[in-house]
Structure 1
Amino acid sequence: MSAEVENRPHSPDAAPSQAIGAKTEPSRALSTTSTISQSSSNDGTSRDSLGSELSSSSRTRRRGYMRPQGTDFAASAKSRESVMSLGSIAHLQYYFARTGLLDGKGGQLARKKQPRATLDLAALEGTAPMIPDLSGHGFITENAVESPTGMDDMDDFYDGFLEEDPDMLPPTASTYNHREKVIPKPPTVAELKTELESALQDALKVLKEAKERKEGSYKASSDAPRYPNMPDENTQSWYELQGMNILDFVTLAIRAAKNYYTAHELPDRLDAIKSEKQIRTDLLSVMEVLKQMATRNFKGGMRDEEIATMTTWIESVFDILKKEANIEASEQAERSSWAWMRGDWKGKELERERQFLMSMIPDEEPLPEWTPASNDADLPTPFLEAMQNGLLLVRLHNAAVKKSRRRFGAIPTFHVNTQKPYRSADNLRYWAKAAELRFECMISIDPLGIVYNNGPQVWLDFEAAILKWCAHVREEITNELV
């Protein structure tokens, strides 16, 4: 009889009995999902408790965002400006949580589409165990609710509870922190020269001391410190200590010389004193000596030829600096004799420009008096006639470039033999174009008209062009020197 009862099909309308071994009272705590599921009940108390639970939960975590507790960037990230310019981790997390830009992008936050739980009574007949009716207890039996973080139709519900953090910047606020890099000002030539002289003096001092110790004529000063771990003199440890000391000082001197040579404003002046090839040869010879000393581990101490090579190089650098100082003194004396830089020349502009041109080429013959072309019926004037072939103007341009601090834009090739008219015209064209490229002085002349003397207007324009060039170049040179 009991077997027939067990095999008898159950009616769908019958109330299900409890499962075998089921407990009378559920002992597990309801999850957030169960609490949300109870919201379908008509009980107003459960709705209020649901709202308070969701409000407290949404303020702490939403779409992977949890209010950070003193988080900061890693130590390796702090050294990268691109990372530190983004702002704080707290603002980034808050921004992505508010905007939802990372929803479904990460593995942890990806929304998984789970099949909705339903009760298929046809599939349960005769095979499935008895399922309790949960509708009377406030549960939804047709559509079970998923977790809030994985449900599409609960996003609007959550948005209402995600309130703005008053201590957090809004998501649209920029947290980019622009850090301006402070670039130190490069040293001047005078500072590099002082550094070079100091490094050479220190290197020469240690070389002199090594030479005197080798000869036995060195006298240590009474206030020289004596360290307890100092090795005995004329031992291998002493030679190594002495060699490393010399190596350091001479290397610093080489570095200072290199910086001075490469950063010099007038390299052609140094090249006039000593060619760049010879300077490089001397530097390489000293570096080869230092290499040989270190290779043999300073065995036997300093050798006479090594000390002589380095001392000779230091004296040659001092000689370059001395000759350069003499050149600067002669240039300063020449500038002091330039009368056109001082005084009041109002009403005597042509004489001032003539003095300026003569100071650019002091070795040439004096220029003729510059009389205005408009006051002379017989054109060209002696001054303009001296400029007619363009050769003197080309030399004046190159001399002005050499006197300037920016020594570029000289005219490399020009016609010295101006017996042919086209050669004189070419020289005039070279001068006008070089004035435009180097001094940014626009000059408009008629070269062939000047060569063939095509009327007085040609000479008036030529004189105006020379006056414009003189005034422009004179002002630039004066501003550089002052």
Structure 2
Amino acid sequence: MSLGSIAHVQHYFARTGLLDGKGGQLQRKNRKLRGTLDLSSLDAANLSPPLFASDSDSSYASMGSSPDLAASSFTAGPMVESPIDDEYYSDEFEDGDPNMLPPTASTYINREKPVPKPPSIAELKLSLTSSLEKAAVSLKEARARQDSAEEQGHPFAETPTIEIRNPAGGHTRQKSSKTHGWFEIQGMHILDVMTLAIRAAKMYYTAHEQPERLDAIKPERQIRADIFSVMETLKQMATRRWAGGMRDEELDILDRWIQGLFAMLQQENDMEEAERAEQATWTWLHGDWAGKEVERELSFMASLEVGLGLGPLPEYTPSTGLASGDLPTPFLRSMQNGLRLVKLHNAAVKKSKRRFGGITTFHEDTEKPYRCADNLRYWIKAAELRWEVPLKIDALGIVYNSSPDVWIGLETAIWAWCKRVREEISTELAS
């Protein structure tokens, strides 16, 4: 029981009896007593109904001569007195707790326990790199010692024996325990450093902010298989208690896993460098764009289309003030089937740190009008769910070019979507 908790205060007053008979305690005890009625203290005669004169002629009158009824009397015992005194509910039978301390002023102080901040990805990567380096050094030393022992005939290369003469005159050969003790020390050290490396790798995998980047380097299934192979090798080494030292195939498995992790971390660093180089070319990210909002959104859309295979954006022409025959413009016509908008949305999700809400199902073949309308509806709904920007367009009107107003509405929706997505990505990069 925690000192100063609510349970401690309740237990203290219940043990000391300072609040006995006060508040609702007496009512609770009365309620408990009313739940059951003890009839053992009542006389049986008190429970018998009185006989009236009209019953004297009945057949029940003849029972008056019965010895059981004759022995009974209405005055055969005292009436039970109602327990109305507080002493009746005394808690003297309860033993006091000598170790129970009274509540103090600090009892009611709310103390918040400090919660440590979770480590960042940079800290986890540094811890993983350090653990891998220590494990690699230990494996290198073990391999070098083993190779040197085999070349120079070192006692570690083969297990030495000593000859002991027994009293009967015979000879017995016993293996020395010094070499085996060294192998156990070496094996326990390898087991420790490899276990720490596996733990650091697991924490790095599970806490990574962009797991799809690691999956692009090496599939998760392969990562799990490699870790399982290393753990199985360590288990086999410990099962045989490192008899004969570490074997070459065991050293190869452990070293191969470590080098694979180093290669994966290097590839991840290369990908991060490529992303930083790409972000340096984003002109829309910095600078003064007052009065040039449309140019900024066009630059943002062009940066999202890199690598999508959609071709360059058509030249933009404002739709306001144009005649109905001039609509849609080449820029808006490229958005008519909704495919470009869907791919722009998915590209923006990948560049964001909150990678969720992508459009997984859409139509690549947009020859049918209903497929174009579906793509536009997918884009509108995804914008509302992922970017929290409500957009209103007439999907069928855009597909069938029903009126000039539908193109003006589409252009307005595109700029609203670009502004919201660009602001979120800029905020994430600045943090």
Q: Does TM-score exceed 0.5, indicating one fold?
A: yes
1:459 equivalenced with 2:407 (yes/no)? yes
Which of 376, 395, 414 lines up with 1:447 in the alignment? 395
* 3-state secondary structure, aligned to 1:265: coil
Specify the alignment match of 1:372 in structure 2.
Answer: 318
Tell me if the contact between 2:4 and 2:107 (Cα under 8 Å) persists in the aligned partners: no
Which of 16, 38, 45 lines up with 1:93 in the alignment? 16
State the TM-score, normalized to the length of structure 1. 0.65
The separation in 1 between residues aligned to 2:426 and 2:276, in whole angstroms, is: 13
Specify the alignment match of 1:163 in structure 2.
Answer: none
The alignment of Structure 1 onto Structure 2 pairs a total of residues equal to: 343
1:390 equivalenced with 2:322 (yes/no)? no
The separation in 2 between residues aligned to 1:392 and 1:441, in whole angstroms, is: 18
**Cα 1:96/1:367, change in 2 over 3 Å:** same
Shift of 1:476: 0.7
Specify the alignment match of 2:274 in structure 1.
Answer: 330
- Kindly report which structure 2 residues correspond to 1:236-385, keeping only aligned pairs within 5 A, or say none: 236-363=180-307, 364-377=310-323, 378-385=326-333
Q: Deviations over 1:172-217 (max 9, x none)?
A: x996664434322211111111111111111111111111111127
The separation in 2 between residues aligned to 1:209 and 1:415, in whole angstroms, is: 58
Shift of 1:234: 6.4
Specify the alignment match of 2:147 in structure 1.
Answer: 215
Q: Deviations over 1:93-116 (max 9, x none)?
A: 25433627379699xxxxx9xx9x
Q: Deviations over 1:435-458 (max 9, x none)?
A: 111111111000010111111111
The separation in 1 between residues aligned to 2:412 and 2:364, in whole angstroms, is: 25
* 3-state secondary structure, aligned to 1:345: coil
Shift of 1:365: 1.8
The separation in 1 between residues aligned to 2:268 and 2:319, in whole angstroms, is: 44
Runs of at least 5 residues in structure 2 that lack an aligned partner in the other structure: 33-37, 42-81, 91-101, 151-175
Shift of 1:92: 6.1
Which of 401, 404, 407 lines up with 2:349 in the alignment? 401
**Cα 1:81/1:241, change in 2 over 3 Å:** farther
Tell me if the contact between 1:425 and 1:448 (Cα under 8 Å) persists in the aligned partners: yes
Shift of 1:375: 3.2
Q: Deviations over 1:39-66 (max 9, x none)?
A: xxxxxxxxxxxxxxxxxxxxxxxxxxxx
Overall identity of the aligned pairs, in %: 54
Shift of 1:82: 6.5
**Cα 1:300/1:83, change in 2 over 3 Å:** farther
The separation in 1 between residues aligned to 2:250 and 2:5, in whole angstroms, is: 49
Tell me if the contact between 2:352 and 2:428 (Cα under 8 Å) persists in the aligned partners: yes
The separation in 2 between residues aligned to 1:321 and 1:417, in whole angstroms, is: 39
* 3-state secondary structure, aligned to 1:97: coil
The separation in 2 between residues aligned to 1:451 and 1:373, in whole angstroms, is: 17
The separation in 2 between residues aligned to 1:472 and 1:95, in whole angstroms, is: 65
The separation in 2 between residues aligned to 1:316 and 1:80, in whole angstroms, is: 54
Shift of 1:292: 0.2
Specify the alignment match of 2:364 in structure 1.
Answer: 416
State the TM-score, normalized to the length of structure 2. 0.72
The separation in 1 between residues aligned to 2:3 and 2:231, in whole angstroms, is: 37
1:198 equivalenced with 2:121 (yes/no)? no
Which of 189, 209, 227 lines up with 2:121 in the alignment? 189
Specify the alignment match of 2:386 in structure 1.
Answer: 438
The separation in 2 between residues aligned to 1:335 and 1:372, in whole angstroms, is: 28
The separation in 1 between residues aligned to 2:413 and 2:274, in whole angstroms, is: 32
Shift of 1:387: 0.7
Q: Structure 1 stretch 314-323 or stretch 94-103: which is displaced more?
A: 94-103
The separation in 2 between residues aligned to 1:392 and 1:104, in whole angstroms, is: 77
Runs of at least 5 residues in structure 1 that lack an aligned partner in the other structure: 1-76, 107-111, 116-149, 159-167, 219-231
Q: Deviations over 1:16-73 (max 9, x none)?
A: xxxxxxxxxxxxxxxxxxxxxxxxxxxxxxxxxxxxxxxxxxxxxxxxxxxxxxxxxx
The separation in 2 between residues aligned to 1:390 and 1:429, in whole angstroms, is: 8
Amino acid in the other structure paired with 2:268: E
